[in-house]
Amino acid sequence: MPPLFTLADVSTMRGSADEHVHPLSGVTVDIAADRITVVVGPSGSGKSTLLRLLNRLEEAHDGVVSFHGRPIGSYDVLELRRRVGLLQQRPTPFPGTVLDNIRVARPAVTRDEAVALLERAGLGGGFLDRRADELSGGEAQRMCLARTLAAGPEVLLLDEATSALDAAAAKVVERTARDLAEGGLTVVLVTHDLRQARRLADDLVVLAGGEVVEHGPATRLLRRAKDERARAFLGGSS
């Protein structure tokens, strides 16, 4: 199967022409469909930037990002973001009830469908008529996961999405990610938690200083990475 995303010599730029940084430079990597790719690396290594390129919250300054073999810039951005859903580190509830939040993503959703989405995200149907701004952080994050799934994405991007959750809620999100990948969804997950990477990764991308220093099947990389910077990171906290 051809890769779902291809990054070919991609660099990003922040700042002005005279004074700028390159959060990513010369990144070439494929991301395969129907599996979990975990992106790891130290803080500031470019993990969020890489993820945001995949739904065009970030644009490449150089190089090409492709989705299904077509330059990502050729897609309508709203259609792209329905197909490539993002769950960020902090929940982003909209005003109104939990059901109102889910309706933003799927206007014609029925109550039964909304309950099924909530259950998938580890929240019971009893939350449907609760006010979104009265949920705890962990509940709000799971509602946001249900809302992201309501759009029917083919790719789910998770950016440190469990780091503000307690261990039990984090496990629910991890199990959902695994179930979704087994059901044919592509998951790209950024984490600084190597144990989470070990639990979830089919493929691993290791970033250091804005460059991809390793990429491949997780079982192989976790056993022995070739690159010294990748080894230093992967071996550091197992």
The distance of closest approach from Cβ of residue 121 to ligand ADP in the complex, given in angstroms and rounded to an integer, is 24
Among the listed ranges 46-54, 106-114, 163-171, 224-232, the one in contact with ligand ADP (CB under 6 A) is: 46-54
Closest of 126, 143, 155, 150 to residue 67, by C-alpha = 155
Binding ligand ADP (rule: CB under 6 A), the pick from 21, 64, 77, 232 is: 21
Q: Is residue 48 at the binding interface for Mg ion, with CB under 5 A as the rule? A: yes
Binding ligand ADP (rule: CB under 6 A), the pick from 5, 7, 27, 41 is: 41
Helix/strand/coil percent split, the chain, to 5: 40, 25, 35
What tokens appear for 124 in the block? 């019971």
Q: Is residue 55 at the binding interface for ligand ADP, with CB under 6 A as the rule? A: no
Please give the sequence-ordered ranges of beta strands (E in DSSP) within the chain, or none if there are none: 5-11, 14-15, 20-21, 27-31, 36-40, 62-67, 70-71, 84-87, 155-159, 186-190, 203-208, 211-217
Report the SS3 class of residue 2. Answer: coil
Measured from the CB atom, the residue of 62 and 119 that comes closer to ligand ADP is: 62
The distance of closest approach from Cβ of residue 44 to Mg ion in the complex, given in angstroms and rounded to an integer, is 8
Cβ-proximal residue to Mg ion, closest one: 48
Q: Is residue 191 at the binding interface for Mg ion, with CB under 5 A as the rule? A: no
Report the SS3 class of residue 103. Answer: helix
For binding to Mg ion (CB under 5 A), which residues are involved? 47-48
Interface with ligand ADP (CB under 6 A) = 14, 21, 23, 41, 43-49
